[in-house]
Amino acid sequence: KKKLILDLDTGVDDAQAIMVALATPDVEVLGITCCHGNTPLENVLKNTLRVLKVCNRLDIPVFRGCAEPLVDKKRHAGDFHGKDGLGDVPDPDAPGLELLQKQKASEAIIRMVKENPGEVTLVATAPLTNVAEAVQLDPSLPEKLKALYIMGGNCECTLSVCCLFMLTSTGSVQPPCFHTARGNTTVCGEFNFVADSEAAHTVLDRYTCPTYIATWEFSCRNSLPWSFVDVWLGQDTDKARFMDKISQHTRKMVQTERYQKELVAGPGFNSCDTYALAAAIDDTLVTESEEVAVTVELEGTYTRGMMVLDYMDLLKKAHKVTILKKVDLERFKQMLMDALK
Ligand code: BDR
């Protein structure tokens, strides 16, 4: 079985990712570590247990992680996921937090990886605070990981504008010519990397294991058509009814013009975190990717938190990450359908 640890800030797309993982027969979820992010940590913990309850999998250990970023001020994504992170649909029967494990998330990651050296894939779809803390506590952690999959950062879209600017201001394209990116939270910043930029920087510098990044633009390029979403969430099962209910708020948000025009593949829904999870589960799902050294901007007035891609190898980083570009959408849809059965 493929062994996964999920590091989440359970909002709507994290919930979808959990369900895909749990519905895949050859996957074992060793544990779920929770981080601040889409909503405050207390909600993340509660949401995670709620999803596990719907899946009848409260046996999966859930760990409390960091409640705040390393340096940044706390930031949440209530507009997108609802204030409580799951569409603000109250659940009077939500499981209590006494079900949580006692061990701290970063320590639990280190322990679970140590117990299964070379076998664990860590899927991180939250701000990277827990993941950064883990490598600070145990610098040898990346050597023992099989792979790290991250939903976060951004990679493209303003390449021509950037080059044009360099051309017109300097007379030629000269180094440093880094490519700026399209944000969803700040002008150039994707939510998870902006919500803890130092953590993202630490992780991209120190995790030298095979690393795969599902960027914001990647999810925009592989969006799910609304006709599919209706069939997917309209299935006659408890899981589908739960998902349909908690997704309503996000659906309204996604259906606004500002958001829809980001979706290069046409109108629809991009379940950001689920792409990273699905790619981790099935390494043949991604049909296009590229390898490049990356880092994260920590200074810029407009660009703090932006992922920087070093196509010209100016940073001289030996470690290259794999930037995911395209998925086999039909197979991805099938995974989503199965997850709610
Ligand atoms: C990321 O931000 C969060 O709101 C989503 O859950 C996803 O992890 C997309 O930028």
- Please give the Cα distance from 218 to 83 (Å, whole number): 26
* Sign of the alpha-carbon dihedral angle for 185, 190, 195, 198: negative
pLDDT-based confidence at residue 179 (cuts at 50, 70, 90): low
Nearest C-alpha to atom 10 of ligand 1 is from which residue? 191
Supply the pLDDT for residue 57.
98
Query: For tokens 């060793």, what's the residue?
Result: 30
User: ipTM score of the complex?
Assistant: 0.98
194's tokens: 């902006």
DSSP lists the bridge partners of residue 289 as 324
With the most atoms of ligand 1 within 8 angstroms of its CB, the residue from 125, 213, 221 to mutate is: 125
- Please give the Cα distance from 168 to 324 (Å, whole number): 31
- pLDDT tens profile 40-82: 999 999 999 999 999 999 999 999 999 999 999 999 999 999 9
Mean pLDDT to the nearest integer, 175-184: 60
CA of 172 to the centre of ligand 1 (A): 37
Supply the pLDDT for residue 165.
46
CA of 191 to the centre of ligand 1 (A): 6
- Please give the Cα distance from 211 to 131 (Å, whole number): 13
Residues with CB under 6 A from ligand 1: 11, 13-14, 38, 77, 80, 125, 151, 184, 190-192, 216, 272-273
Residue 163's Cα: distance from chain center in Å?
29
- Please give the Cα distance from 35 to 218 (Å, whole number): 23
